[in-house]
Amino acid sequence: MHITGHMIIGQSTVLGTAGVVHAINPAQNAVMTPDFGLATVAEVERACALAEAAFDTYRETTLEQRALFLEAIATNILDIGSALIERATQETGLPVARLEGERGRTVGQLRLFAKVVRDGRWMTATLDSALPERAPPRPDLRLRKIALGPVAVFGASNFPLAFSVAGGDTASALAAGCPVIVKAHSAHLGTSELVGKAIQKAVADCGMPEGVFSMLIGDGRQIGQSLVSHPAIKAVGFTGSRQGGLALVRTAAQRHEPIPVYAEMSSINPVFLLPQALAANAATLAQGFVDSLTLGAGQFCTNPGLVIALDGPHLQQFMDAASTALKAKAASTMLTPGIHKAYNAGVDSLSKIAGVTLLAQGLTSDGGCAAQAALAVCDGATFLTTPALQDENFGPSSLIIRCSDEAQMQRLAGFVEGQLTITVHAVAADRALAAKLLPTLERKAGRILFNGFPTGVEVAHAMVHGGPFPSTSDSRSTSVGASAIDRFTRPVCYQAMPADLLPAALKDENPFHLARIVDGELVMPK
Amino acid sequence: MHITGHMIIGQSTVLGTAGVVHAINPAQNAVMTPDFGLATVAEVERACALAEAAFDTYRETTLEQRALFLEAIATNILDIGSALIERATQETGLPVARLEGERGRTVGQLRLFAKVVRDGRWMTATLDSALPERAPPRPDLRLRKIALGPVAVFGASNFPLAFSVAGGDTASALAAGCPVIVKAHSAHLGTSELVGKAIQKAVADCGMPEGVFSMLIGDGRQIGQSLVSHPAIKAVGFTGSRQGGLALVRTAAQRHEPIPVYAEMSSINPVFLLPQALAANAATLAQGFVDSLTLGAGQFCTNPGLVIALDGPHLQQFMDAASTALKAKAASTMLTPGIHKAYNAGVDSLSKIAGVTLLAQGLTSDGGCAAQAALAVCDGATFLTTPALQDENFGPSSLIIRCSDEAQMQRLAGFVEGQLTITVHAVAADRALAAKLLPTLERKAGRILFNGFPTGVEVAHAMVHGGPFPSTSDSRSTSVGASAIDRFTRPVCYQAMPADLLPAALKDENPFHLARIVDGELVMPK
């Protein structure tokens, strides 16, 4: 498929006229063809008007129609073939195998949401019978969840497929019945265009109203802010920096009608090494940790940026083994020159903080935007008095905290900011300490994992990729997994509604075969 | 039970020292005894510290323990006996029968949430099995929802029992496992004290940690803002004015860690009279409308403040009948002198707006804060060009819009702001028009009701008392009905967690006998 630099506005392709931007090959630090045209406010208006016009039709497509549409997007993405992987690897520096895996994840995600749509549990269909004999009489009441409205999606730099144009936010919003307008991420413009066209084709193939999907190209924040300010937009999905996420939160709050923003922002993903686990497995833990830290040049939201353990010989053994492993790690290309520069500045700042010692660094490289991994250490008191040590440095850098005792470890657990994940390494003999830490960890993170490492986020029904501020702007939700759909819905109650006007999910005959809550009890479909 | 003017801080009673405030008898416009002491920031601190300390213990009480606690509160409220009704009628001017009904509703609500807690569906327990053979292996993943943290509750002026100290927000937050700090509403301080003590006693009777409940007395907004700013507070429930709700939303957004605010604010609850229904039943509809409008001196969030119908002889017939009915309605006492004054000013402003005609007024009264009902009319064009006509005037005042045609009616449906309710009166011959309006109405309201009037909000599983801005600050939720509990929870995923550490809801043996989602399928308990 030919990449042209056009935006996608419904069924049209439009070359933006507000300027030109280019994709960058970060391995070569080189500009790529073609020119991508930047959107004017007119394109934002047009995309929003189409989305608004499509909304009522789209949200009332049947569950089966919407599921087929999501599956058609998945098929169309696969149909792009190797051209997609080639372009993505050029634009991001990510290896082919990783991108093939990510494509599988993206397609799997779309298919999971097809299942979620068909299952229909997301509507939480609820029926309370009329009680005409009661004084006062109770009317017939029925509740379903409906789509919020058109959603603006801001893809991530680090997942050009799975958290981008057809990624988790788009899939879950489309599943809920919301039209989607994506702002393409500048880190992978050509990849975005290819995927955007796959969605555009699915819209046509499935006979959906054209406004169901548009994709804009914008420079800096202006187009994004225009989009989030637009009255037609009713929710926002974002994955990126804290600064970027908070800017969208502010814009959304200042609207005449404030709207929810689901921003997945920053997390340093503490890893607690409990004493007996550390004593038993210091070297193995060190290798697993360094592998997780350096995976994908450390460019994961769930990268383990903090290790918390009791000081002593076993921690020393861990640090020695981790240092050795890290020093052997090759530098790998980061996604963009900007990310690479920020990462180096972050390591530099970290090493200059009083009380922090740089323990080891990975191999260097002459090539483009390659990141040298870094591992530092400080004591608990330093961490507790230095807020800057909680700042995420996006990339393969981590900080080990030597705790003086269990009480300090507990204090640290209470001191860390909200996180996407917290990991606990514990053997049976650590169970009492783990149990003591657990209530604090539950308050701090969306996912608590045992004896593993946080990178690798399953797309599953029980996944939570979310967590308390600042890891996200809304801890009540997840951006990965089946329940991501809940972000884009709101409940509506129908009182004494004539049977012929009732939505299908709530009709007596239950045409969607939903499990429903009837007079307070869960009733399985016949 | 003796009313002392004290606040409730955990198991202590504290007389505030920041000043004195009094309850007012609005029927007599007279100050009541005793003096109520106002909180200093020290009391806010103390209540928050206790709530914070209670949280982890309280949220992990068993479902049965928490259900019994809610039921104990209900019993203790009933045990206050007639003293509660007497004080409430003096403080609010509401009739005894209404308050007895409201007490029944309050107690019923607490018992409903006891059932909701026991049912455990609110946790959405979800289990994904480990797939060790898969490449890469999938870990065991389990999700449950946990309580958000301590919640600040701001009760309503107009429901001294059902939306106040032990009202819907408190009941649903306690059900979720959140400690609650209530700011008592100045419109019913003695009533609040009596109910607060009933909760305090239930806390002791049930062996709950004392910080589970506190009740503060504050003047103006200062104590409320301190409470919402406090780091221990993780969510806010509010029922009241748009101005008051938005002030809390702003404060919550400016915190280091922003928190959700569920503010139920203002709604004018449009009533659409479709042509054939109007032709068939003009007089009956008029009587039903005027009864709903003037119920409780019009002091309901769901009061029908807007009537939309096609102009013509049938509407004229409706207006004549409504005018006649209204003119016979006695003035009834409003809740506070402030509300009464604002209502009169609202009617005065309305009648001065160009294009608006005051159609009829109810009877006057010499007594205290009695409200004279008011009915006005304007045409569709006036409404579409006069934003002020969408402002809620809390009390028995309503505006009829004469539409030139169906197209204008449809335009009006799209023009009104977000609402708690929209009502449609339609007979079979109106069904096509109703179906055409419906998608727009769904976008605008949390509850759509047919051939009834919006006052009267059932406490049920399928109820939605919520809606798009500005009716609430968060359309994704309801403040009445079983799903109100969802406002105070967030999901946590446990990955590869050792069996002995798993929370009961997620253990293999399913000790709570929950319906759970296992590998994507809903599985009923054995």
Predicted confidence at residue B526, as pLDDT, reads 83
Closest chain A residue to B146 measured between Cα atoms?
A: A442
Instruction: Give the residue-averaged pLDDT of A198-216.
Output: 98
Cβ atoms within 10 Å, residue B477 = 26
Peptide bond into B491 cis (omega under 30): no
Whether B476 and A148 lie within 8 Å, measured CB to CB: yes
Length of chain B, in residues: 526
Which chain A residues touch B124 with a CB distance below 8 Å? 483
Picking from B250, B495, B513 by the largest number of A CB atoms within 10 A of its own CB, the best residue to mutate is B495
B313-327 vs B275-294: helix crossing angle, rounded to 10: 20
Which chain A residues touch B469 with a CB distance below 8 Å? 257-258
Helix (H) / strand (E) element for B143: namely strand B141-147
Cβ-nearest to A456 among B136, B446, B478: B136
Strand A141-147, strand A126-128: pairing:
antiparallel
**Distance of alpha carbon B478 from alpha carbon B456, whole angstroms:** 15
* Tokens linked to A15: 């070359």
**Distance of alpha carbon A276 from alpha carbon A278, whole angstroms:** 5
Cα dihedral A492, A498, A501, A503 sign = positive
Query: In this complex, is the C-beta atom of A387 within 8 Å of any C-beta atom belonging to chain B?
Result: no
C-alpha distance from residue A239 to each of A401, B11, B225 (Å): 28, 45, 31
Picking from A178, A485, A492, A493 by the largest number of B CB atoms within 10 A of its own CB, the best residue to mutate is A493
Which chain B residues touch A500 with a CB distance below 8 Å? 431
Contact status, residue B322 vs residue B360, Cβ threshold 8 Å:
yes
| Residue A1 pLDDT greater than 80, yes or no | no
Which chain B residues touch A442 with a CB distance below 8 Å? 146, 492
C-alpha distance from residue A114 to each of A105, A177, A485, A500, B131 (Å): 14, 12, 11, 27, 22
Contact status, residue A115 vs residue B520, Cβ threshold 8 Å:
yes
| Residue A219 pLDDT greater than 90, yes or no | no
Which chain B residues touch A142 with a CB distance below 8 Å? 462
Contact status, residue B467 vs residue B418, Cβ threshold 8 Å:
yes
Query: In this complex, is the C-beta atom of A104 within 8 Å of any C-beta atom belonging to chain B?
Result: no
Closest chain A residue to B138 measured between Cα atoms?
A: A458
Which chain A residues touch B457 with a CB distance below 8 Å? none
The residues with which A128 forms a beta bridge, in sequence order, are: A141
CA B85 to chain centre: 21
Closest by Cα among A424, A137, A210 to B451 = A137
The residue to which tokens 């007996």 are assigned: A276
Which chain A residues touch B462 with a CB distance below 8 Å? 126-128, 141-143, 493, 517
Closest chain A residue to B144 measured between Cα atoms?
A: A462
Whether A517 and B434 lie within 8 Å, measured CB to CB: no
pLDDT tens digits, residue range A458-507? 999 999 999 999 999 999 999 999 999 999 999 999 999 999 999 999 99
* Tokens linked to B439: 């998608």
**Distance of alpha carbon A140 from alpha carbon B460, whole angstroms:** 10
Whether A446 and B491 lie within 8 Å, measured CB to CB: yes
Query: In this complex, is the C-beta atom of A291 within 8 Å of any C-beta atom belonging to chain B?
Result: no
Cα dihedral B391, B393, B396, B397 sign = negative
Contact status, residue B222 vs residue B251, Cβ threshold 8 Å:
no
Query: In this complex, is the C-beta atom of B207 within 8 Å of any C-beta atom belonging to chain A?
Result: no
* Residue contacts between A and B (CB atoms, under 8 Å): 220
Cβ atoms within 10 Å, residue A348 = 12
What's the Rg (C-alpha) of chain B?
A: 25
Whether A501 and B464 lie within 8 Å, measured CB to CB: no
Query: In this complex, is the C-beta atom of A522 within 8 Å of any C-beta atom belonging to chain B?
Result: yes
Query: In this complex, is the C-beta atom of B471 within 8 Å of any C-beta atom belonging to chain A?
Result: no
Which chain B residues touch A491 with a CB distance below 8 Å? 446, 464, 466, 476-478, 483
One-character DSSP codes across A395-437: SSEEEEEEESSHHHHHHHHHHS--EEEEEEE--GGGHHHHHHH
Predicted confidence at residue B42, as pLDDT, reads 96
Peptide bond into B34 cis (omega under 30): yes
* Tokens linked to B30: 């007279």
Contact status, residue A362 vs residue A344, Cβ threshold 8 Å:
no
B240: CB partners within 8 A, 6+ apart? B154, B156, B157, B263, B264, B265
Contact status, residue B8 vs residue B196, Cβ threshold 8 Å:
yes
Which chain B residues touch A495 with a CB distance below 8 Å? 447-450, 452
Cβ-nearest to B522 among A450, A462, A515: A515
Closest chain A residue to B428 measured between Cα atoms?
A: A498
* Tokens linked to B258: 């922003």
* Tokens linked to A318: 């861990």
* Tokens linked to B484: 């109100």
- The angle at the Cα of A35, spanning A90 to A223, to the nearest 5 degrees, equals 100
* Tokens linked to A20: 């030109």
Query: In this complex, is the C-beta atom of A515 within 8 Å of any C-beta atom belonging to chain B?
Result: yes
* Tokens linked to A513: 């075969």
* Tokens linked to A447: 């996912």
Helix (H) / strand (E) element for A262: namely strand A261-264
pLDDT tens digits, residue range A322-354? 999 999 999 999 999 999 999 999 999 999 999
CA A150 to chain centre: 19
A146: closest CA of chain B, how far (Å): 8
Whether A495 and B452 lie within 8 Å, measured CB to CB: yes
Contact status, residue B398 vs residue B304, Cβ threshold 8 Å:
yes
Closest by Cα among A338, A340, A335 to A372 = A340
Cβ-nearest to B449 among A249, A445, A495: A495
**Distance of alpha carbon B315 from alpha carbon B363, whole angstroms:** 23
CA A229 to chain centre: 22
Whether B469 and A515 lie within 8 Å, measured CB to CB: no
Contact status, residue A433 vs residue A274, Cβ threshold 8 Å:
yes
Cβ-nearest to B431 among A466, A482, A498: A498
Query: In this complex, is the C-beta atom of A459 within 8 Å of any C-beta atom belonging to chain B?
Result: no
Average pLDDT, chain A: 97
Share of chain A above pLDDT 90, in %: 97
The one-character DSSP state at B372 is P
**Distance of alpha carbon B318 from alpha carbon B325, whole angstroms:** 10
C-alpha distance from residue B279 to each of B286, B351, B430 (Å): 12, 28, 11
Residue B83 amino acid letter? A
Strand B397-403, strand B306-310: pairing:
parallel
**Distance of alpha carbon B248 from alpha carbon B221, whole angstroms:** 9
C-alpha distance from residue B342 to each of A122, A338, B337 (Å): 42, 56, 9
Predicted confidence at residue A368, as pLDDT, reads 81
Picking from A144, A416, A476, A494 by the largest number of B CB atoms within 10 A of its own CB, the best residue to mutate is A476
Residues 246-265, chain A, touching B (beta carbon < 8 A):
249, 253, 257-258, 260
Residue A106 amino acid letter? T
* Tokens linked to B300: 């309901």
**Distance of alpha carbon B459 from alpha carbon B111, whole angstroms:** 11
Cβ-nearest to A462 among B115, B142, B418: B142
The residues with which B450 forms a beta bridge, in sequence order, are: B424
Residue A407 amino acid letter? A
Cβ-nearest to A128 among B126, B249, B462: B462
Whether B464 and A143 lie within 8 Å, measured CB to CB: yes
* ipTM rounded to 2 decimals: 0.97
Query: In this complex, is the C-beta atom of B146 within 8 Å of any C-beta atom belonging to chain A?
Result: yes
A152: closest CA of chain B, how far (Å): 17
The residue to which tokens 């079983």 are assigned: B482
Residues 223-242, chain A, touching B (beta carbon < 8 A):
none
**Distance of alpha carbon A358 from alpha carbon A457, whole angstroms:** 29
Length of chain A, in residues: 526
**Distance of alpha carbon B29 from alpha carbon B336, whole angstroms:** 8
B38: closest CA of chain A, how far (Å): 32
Peptide bond into B470 cis (omega under 30): yes
Which residues of A are catalytic, by number?
264, 301
A2: closest CA of chain B, how far (Å): 34
Which chain B residues touch A431 with a CB distance below 8 Å? 498, 500-501
* Max CA distance (Å), chain A: 82
Which chain B residues touch A468 with a CB distance below 8 Å? 257, 490
Whether B524 and A524 lie within 8 Å, measured CB to CB: yes
Per-residue pLDDT 10s for chain B (526 aa) are 799 999 999 999 999 999 999 999 999 989 999 999 999 999 999 999 999 999 999 999 999 999 999 999 999 999 999 999 999 999 999 999 999 999 999 999 999 999 999 999 999 999 999 999 998 899 999 999 999 999 999 989 999 999 999 999 999 999 999 999 999 999 999 999 999 999 999 999 999 999 999 999 998 788 999 999 999 999 999 999 999 999 999 999 999 999 999 999 999 999 999 999 999 999 999 999 999 999 999 999 999 999 999 999 999 999 999 999 999 999 999 999 999 999 999 999 999 999 999 999 999 987 789 999 999 999 999 999 999 999 999 999 999 999 999 999 999 999 999 999 999 999 999 999 999 999 999 999 999 999 999 999 999 999 999 999 999 999 999 999 999 999 999 999 999 999 999 999 999 999 999 999 999 999 999 8
Provide the phi-psi class of B481: left if phi over 0, else alpha when psi is between -120 and 50, else beta.
left
Whether B60 and A439 lie within 8 Å, measured CB to CB: yes
